[in-house]
Amino acid sequence: MNYFVTGTDTDVGKTLISCALLHAFAERGMRVVGMKPVAAGGCDENGRNEDDKKLRAASNVQAGFGQTNPYCFTHAVAPHLAAKFVGVSINMERIIESYRELAAQADVVIVEGAGGFRVPLNDGEEISDIAVELGLPVILVVGMRLGCINHALLTTDAIKTRGLELAGWVANVLDENMEMLEGNIETIKQRIDAPLIGVVPYQASPDARDVAKRLDVVPLAQ
């Protein structure tokens, strides 16, 4: 019942969908908690990340900031660059330890990646390695805009190459004027061997609780 949420790129709605999943599972009476292992950018003066704050607000299990967001960096760049800038090395064991602490407290842990699926963490590891080390099935957020088919299929291939299960995908509409939206969604459906668990229409100010109503988590909960 734990999942790793990745996206076809940065800023495609991973946090929105992660929060919506937390709300959806909570509605089913489950203890839920979100985790942002690594965040680069969006940190306040106390070193607390905005995405992590949203995940915590959507969770009904309250944990320490060090558990939900072990690494938070100020610069909005790739994590390995943000870490190097401040002389920090991202350690996978620390992420694994924090995850295990959260998993012991909740029925569902939603782990949100950073950027796309193959963003570097350090000199030898990538974001994808978090999902591999934790052994989590993946939920893919596809940002529906020009180029989304290629990005969705490439990311799907990368997920399968790492030996991970693609549990489902979400079509998150980013371009309110996207041409042939339904055709794009149908094309991706035909080529991805995983259920489409929701289509999220374009919203200038999306609300995770509203988005949760648009997600079908039944295939995930079985």
pLDDT in tens, 188-217: 999 999 999 999 999 999 999 999 999 999
> 90 near 121, Cβ under 8 Å?
yes
* Catalytic center residues: 36
Task: Check residues 144 and 45 and name the one with the higher pLDDT.
Answer: 144
Distance of alpha carbon 184 from alpha carbon 153, whole angstroms:
12
pLDDT in tens, 71-113: 999 999 999 999 999 999 999 999 999 999 999 999 999 999 9
Q: pLDDT-based confidence at 42, cuts 50/70/90?
A: confident
Distance of alpha carbon 169 from alpha carbon 117, whole angstroms:
14
The pTM assigned to this predicted structure is 0.96
pLDDT of residue 17: 98
Query: Could you tell me the domains of the chain?
Result: 3-217 (3.40.50.300)
Distance of alpha carbon 84 from alpha carbon 95, whole angstroms:
18
Reduced DSSP (H G I as helix, E B as strand, rest coil) percent helix, strand, coil of the chain, to 5: 40, 20, 40
